[in-house]
């Protein structure tokens, strides 16, 4: 469910015609619907109502302070993977007691900062990381609360780049080695074992991998409890998929029921790290058509059209990186006859496309298009490739909209740059 609608050839986000946003702010621009974000959070939270749980929004999906704050205002915590995310989560009102810190490569300064702030737990991914956390906590005269991220070796049946719970992946500690690592961790003076963690992948559209992983984690939790380890938090990660095209992912309730069943009878608090399911369909990327052109079709009949738009792979990397599908919708009237088109950006790579071989009405320069389901891993993965300033971001609530991040300026593009003295004009030798 989302609050973007096309009626009589005009797209609105909640009560705002998106054309107005494009005119006021320019394009490309990300537009987020506050009502959709809140609705998704509440549905997810309600699904777990019968079970003690903490939702830690996985902010890598969308790190906009306004998006994070939307969730923290509703009681959410945050799942972070860097010191940068820690700072931004705190700025957006996340209570440290609801922050979990995941990721395979935590640096010392990042561990120090998380300990100083008093986060809920570190999800630890290797023995060496455990040793480092123990040493850092020791120097700070603290005890670090930890879970071990266990790799349950379950196939999430998703894109290989976003599968994380297979034994060939870099993530976590093999489930077969977990007991040994837990026993080792429990003997460290500056480590407090509090939980078990796993995350098997992203954009999962079936329930069975979650059920398999939860079943394996349950067995492990039972064994750890029998050994006297005080496990009180079970973090089952994120990963619930959304509909980009025709996928039919499980409803959060179905997912919650399956998870609840796996951990029934235990006195634990579940930690959940949803990202995409909260934000994916709550955002679109608005872009304008700059030019159109046609090439002979490869199949020998008809023409292949290119709609060259002002958004590109630097703004939304998912199609180029994973071959992901994002629906393209005309945000204004579309009168042309239907053609087959690639929607491409201005970047100098053939991999720069937002959509391939789509049946769309013929576009004209100036037409406004919406790239749908762009709220997750859209802006947060954007870059400055080809020295393109990053897009603006807007949040809509009811009939109002506000810019929540200005379009990057040309000055900011070279913000931290210095020209070394040996290249400065005064030093150049005269010929
Ligand atoms: N927790 C951990 C430890 C994760 O690694 C991730 C995502 C999540 C939670 C949130 O997963 P979600 O609920 O959003 O599926 N850039 C890719 C997705 C990468 C996901 C990485 N980890 C994409 O655009 O599809």
Could you tell me if 277 and 36 are in contact, meaning their C-beta atoms sit under 8 angstroms apart?
no
Which tens digit of pLDDT belongs to each residue from 406-424? Answer: 999 999 999 999 999 999 7
Atom of ligand 1 nearest to the CA of 159: 25
- Edge-first strand listing for the sheet containing 16-17: 4-7, 10-13, 16-17
Q: Please, which pLDDT band fits residue 425 given cuts at 50, 70 and 90? A: confident
Query: Which overall architecture, per CATH, does domain 34-277 show?
Result: Alpha-Beta Barrel (3.20)
229 vs 298, more confident: 229
Active site residue 13: no
Same fold, 4-31+281-413 and 34-277: no
Query: What percentage of the chain has pLDDT greater than the value 70?
Result: 96
Q: Which of 50-64, 167-181, 284-298 has the highest mean pLDDT?
A: 50-64
Residue-wise burial string across 195-224, b where 16 or more C-beta atoms lie within 10 A, e elsewhere: bbbbbbbbbbbebebbbbbbebbbebbeeb
Q: Please, which pLDDT band fits residue 168 given cuts at 50, 70 and 90? A: confident
> Looking up tokens 């069975």, which residue turns up?
208
Query: Other CB atoms closer than 10 Å to residue 2's CB: what's the count?
Result: 22
Ligand 1: residue whose CA is nearest its atom 19: 162
Query: Other CB atoms closer than 10 Å to residue 276's CB: what's the count?
Result: 26
Q: What residue spans define the domains of the chain?
A: 4-31+281-413, 34-277
CATH fold group of domain 4-31+281-413 = Lyase, Ornithine Decarboxylase; Chain A, domain 1 (2.40.37)
Report how far residue 259's alpha carbon sits from residue 214's, in angstroms, rounded to the nearest whole number: 7
Q: What is the mean pLDDT of residues 238-254?
A: 97
- The number of angstroms, rounded, from the C-alpha of 133 to the middle of its chain's C-alpha atoms is 26
Report how far residue 378's alpha carbon sits from residue 231's, in angstroms, rounded to the nearest whole number: 36
3-state secondary structure of 354: strand
244: which residues sit within 8 A by CB, 6+ positions away?
280, 324, 325, 326, 327, 372, 373
The model carries a pTM of: 0.96
Cα 237 to averaged position of ligand 1 atoms, centre (Å): 9
Ligand 1: residue whose CA is nearest its atom 8: 238
Question: How wide is the angle at C-alpha 165 spanned by C-alphas 68 and 351, nearest 5°?
Answer: 70
Cα 367 to averaged position of ligand 1 atoms, centre (Å): 33
Report how far residue 85's alpha carbon sits from residue 77's, in angstroms, rounded to the nearest whole number: 12
Q: What is the mean pLDDT of residues 84-104?
A: 98
Q: Which two tokens stand for residue 32?
A: 């987020």
pLDDT at 157: 73
pLDDT at 29: 99
Which tens digit of pLDDT belongs to each residue from 180-199? Answer: 999 999 999 999 999 999 99
pLDDT at 66: 98
pLDDT at 154: 86
**Pocket, ligand 1, Cβ cutoff 6 A:** 58, 61, 79, 102, 162, 164, 199, 202-203, 237-240, 273-277, 318, 322, 376-377, 381
pLDDT at 159: 72
Cα 275 to averaged position of ligand 1 atoms, centre (Å): 6
Q: Say which of 13, 56, 198, 348 is annotated catalytic.
A: 348
Signed CA dihedral, 255, 259, 46, 254: sign only: positive
């Amino acid at each position: 469910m989302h609050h973007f609608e096309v009626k009589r050839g005009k797209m609105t986000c909640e009560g705002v015609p998106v054309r107005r946003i494009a005119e006021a702010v320019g394009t490309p621009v990300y537009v987020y619907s506050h009502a959709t974000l809140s609705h998704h959070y509440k549905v997810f939270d309600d699904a777990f109502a019968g079970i003690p749980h903490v939702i830690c929004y996985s902010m890598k999906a969308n790190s906009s302070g306004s998006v994070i704050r939307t969730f923290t205002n509703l009681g959410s915590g945050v799942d972070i993977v860097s010191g940068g995310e820690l700072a931004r989560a705190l700025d957006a009102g996340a209570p440290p007691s609801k922050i979990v810190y995941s990721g395979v490569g935590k640096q010392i300064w990042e561990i120090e900062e998380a300990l100083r702030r008093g986060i809920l737990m570190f999800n630890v991914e290797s023995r060496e990381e455990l040793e480092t956390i123990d040493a850092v906590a020791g120097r700070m005269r603290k005890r670090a609360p930890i879970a071990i991220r266990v790799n349950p070796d379950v196939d999430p049946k998703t894109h290989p780049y976003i599968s994380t719970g297979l034994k060939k992946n870099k993530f976590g500690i093999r489930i077969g080695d977990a007991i040994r690592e837990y026993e080792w961790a429990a003997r460290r003076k500056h480590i407090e074992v509090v939980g078990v963690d796993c995350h098997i992948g992203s954009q999962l559209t079936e329930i069975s991998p979650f059920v398999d992983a939860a079943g394996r984690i349950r067995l492990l939790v039972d064994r750890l409890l029998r050994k006297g380890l005080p496990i009180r938090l079970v973090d089952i990660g994120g990963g619930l998929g959304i509909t980009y095209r025709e996928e039919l992912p499980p409803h959060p309730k179905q997912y919650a029921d399956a998870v609840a069943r796996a951990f029934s009878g235990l006195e634990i608090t579940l930690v959940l790290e949803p990202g995409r399911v909260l934000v994916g369909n709550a955002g679109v990327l608005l872009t304008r058509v700059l030019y159109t052109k046609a090439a002979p079709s490869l199949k020998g009949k008809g023409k292949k059209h290119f709609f060259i738009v002002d958004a590109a792979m630097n703004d939304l990397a998912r199609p180029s990186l994973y071959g992901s599908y994002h629906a393209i919708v005309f945000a204004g009237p579309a009168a042309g006859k239907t053609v087959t088109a690639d929607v491409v950006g201005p970047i100098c790579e053939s991999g720069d496309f937002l959509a391939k071989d789509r049946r769309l009405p013929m576009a004209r320069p100036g037409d406004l298009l919406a790239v749908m389901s762009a709220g997750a891993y859209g802006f947060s993965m954007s870059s400055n490739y080809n020295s393109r300033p990053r897009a603006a971001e807007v949040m809509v609530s009811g009939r109002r909209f506000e810019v929540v991040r200005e379009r990057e300026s040309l000055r900011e593009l070279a913000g931290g740059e210095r020209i070394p003295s040996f290249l400065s004009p005064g030093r150049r030798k005269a010929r």
